[in-house]
Structure 1
Amino acid sequence: MADHSIKGKTVLIAGGAKNLGGLIARDLAGQGAKAVAIHYNSAASKADADVTVAALQAAGAQAVAIQADLTTAGAVEKLFADAIAAVGKLDIAINTVGKVLKKPITEISETEYDDMTAVNSKTAFFFLKEAGKNLNDNGKIVTVVTSLLGAYTPFYAAYAGTKAPVEHYTRAASKEFGARGISVTAVGPGPMDTPFFYPAEGADAVAYHKTAAALSPFSKTGLTSIEDVVPFIRHLVSDGWWITGQTILINGGYTTK
C-alpha cells in the first residue's frame, strides 16, 4: 500500500512565495514535508520568497526559492530540473500561478490575450507535463484555477477562458499518469481576500463579491480566504489521493457546476 502521508515528502510549489502558495508551503512543512522548493516569478517577489524559505526552515524542512518566468516550456523544464537538483526527486507538485484580467471582450488586445494564455494555460500545461515526467510514483499534482469556471458572468472571458483548458489538461493527465499512482486535480477558489484580487475589481464589484457566496455572512471578509483553501489542498496531496481528474470549486457557495 502506497504511503500517502505528507511526512517526509518533497514538494514543488509554483507561485509559492506568498499569498495562497506561501501558506500552502508553510502548511505542508508543518505537516512534515522533508523539503519544499518554492518558485517566484520576478525580483519583486524575492523578499517574500526569502521570508517563506526562512519560515519553512524554521519548521524543520529543507527549503529553496527559485526565480523563473514560466511562460515558456523550457523555463518550466528548468524549474523542475533546478528543484530536483536542490531538494531531490519530487513527490508533490502544486501550481498556483495565475493572472487576472477583467475587461470587456471588445477591449481586449491581442497582446493581453497572449499574455493571459501564456500565464494561465500554457504554464499550466507544461507544468503538468514536467510533473508527469519527474514525479515519483504515487505523486500528487494540483493546479489552482478559478471558481469563475462555474459562473455565468461578463468581463472575465480572458481570465476564466484561459483557465478553462486546465480542466481538460487535468482529466487527460489523470488518465495518463494514473498507472503510476499519480493523482491529478484542480481547485477553483472563489474570489480570495488577497492583493491578487482587488486591483482588477472596482468598489461596487468588491462589495458584490463579498456578499455573493451562500456562506458569505459567516466569512470574516465575505470572500474566500486562503485559510479556507489550504486544508483542501493538503487533503488532495495526502489522504485524498483517490480523488483524481476532478476540478473542485472551493468558494462557500459562490458558484457551482
Structure 2
Amino acid sequence: MTTSNDKVAIVTGASRGIGAAIAARLARDGFTVVVNYANNAKPAAELVETIEKAGGRAISCQADVGDPQAIKRMFDAAETRYGGVDVLVNNAGIMKLAPVAQTDDATFDETIAINLKGTFNGVREAARRLREGGRIVNFSTSVVGLYQPTYGVYAATKAAVEALTHIVAKELGARKITVNAVAPGPVATDLFLEGKDQATLDRIRQMIPLGRLGEVDDIARVVSMLVGPDGGWINGQVLRVNGGVV
C-alpha cells in the first residue's frame, strides 16, 4: 500500500463510477482526497462519509470543470485547508454517441467543454500550482484507437487529451511532475452501459481477449500506481487499460 499521508489529491468527477473508485482507492493509499462533483452533492457527500468512516480524510467540492474560475476556486479550497495539492486526476467526462452527420452543435460544444476544455482547465491550474514531485493523470479512452462509428466527437476530444498529456509531460519534467493518461476500455459504469442492450454488451465482451468488461477498480488500481512511488519514472505515457481489446 502506498503511504502518502501528507499528500493531497483532487479527483474530478468523483461522485460516482470510475472517479468514485479512484477517490476511495487513493484515500486507502493515504492521500487526503478532494472529491469533485458537478451537480449532485449527495453521492459526493456519501463518499466522503465512507472514506472518513474508514479512517481516511476527504472533502467534497463542487466545480464545473469547464469553468476555469471554478477550477481555481477548487484548488484554492484545497490549499487553504491542506496547504497544497500534489495530485490531479482529470476523470470528469461525458460520452454522447451519434454518427457525425447526426451530431448537433449543442452536443459537440458540451463534449468539447467537459472532456477537452475541462481537462485543459485542470492541467493548466495544476501546472501552476502542484507541489514539486506532483502527478497529473488525465483520462482518455481506448476508443481513440478503435475508430468505431458513433464515437467521432467523443474520441476526437480524447485524442486531443492524449496530445496535451504528451506535451505537458515535457513542460513540467523539470519540476519532477509526471503527466500521464489512462485510456480505459469498456468498463461497466452507468456512463458506458446507458443505451446499450444485452446483445450489444455481449458483442463488446467478445471483442475483449480477457472475456469481460472492466470494473471500476481495474482502473483505480492503475491510477494508484501512477500517483504512488512505483509510478515515479512513468511520464508522458498513455496506458490502455482495456483487457487487450485493439
- Residue 19 in 1 paired to residue 10 in 2? no
Structure 2 residue matching 1:136: 3-state secondary structure: coil
The match for 1:211 is 206
Alpha-carbon distance, 1:143 to partner: 1.0
The match for 2:93 is 98
- Letter of the structure 2 residue corresponding to residue 137 of structure 1: E
Question: Residue 244 of structure 1 is aligned with which of 235, 239, 244?
Answer: 235
Alpha-carbon distance, 1:207 to partner: 2.1
More deviation in 78-87 or 15-24? 78-87
The match for 1:233 is 223
- Residue 184 in 1 paired to residue 179 in 2? yes
Q: Deviations over 1:53-91 (max 9, x none)?
A: 012212323211011222122222222222222333011
Structure 2 alignment gaps of length 5 or more:
none
User: Following the alignment from structure 2 to structure 1, what is the Cα–Cα distance between the partners of residues 82 and 60?
Assistant: 11
Alignment of 1:50-69 (within 5 A): 50-69=45-64
- Residue 48 in 1 paired to residue 39 in 2? no
The match for 1:121 is 116
TM-score, length basis structure 2: 0.94
How many pairs were matched up?
A: 244
Alpha-carbon distance, 1:209 to partner: 1.4
Q: 1:190 to 1:115 in 2, by over 3 A?
A: same
Identity of aligned residues (%): 32
Structure 1 residue matching 2:112: 3-state secondary structure: helix
Q: Deviations over 1:1-60 (max 9, x none)?
A: xxx853431111111112111111111111122x21110010xx3221111101221232
The match for 2:69 is 74
User: Following the alignment from structure 2 to structure 1, what is the Cα–Cα distance between the partners of residues 190 and 141?
Assistant: 16
- Letter of the structure 2 residue corresponding to residue 158 of structure 1: V
User: Following the alignment from structure 1 to structure 2, what is the Cα–Cα distance between the partners of residues 87 and 60?
Assistant: 17
- Letter of the structure 2 residue corresponding to residue 243 of structure 1: I
User: Following the alignment from structure 1 to structure 2, what is the Cα–Cα distance between the partners of residues 86 and 19?
Assistant: 26
Structure 1 alignment gaps of length 5 or more:
217-221
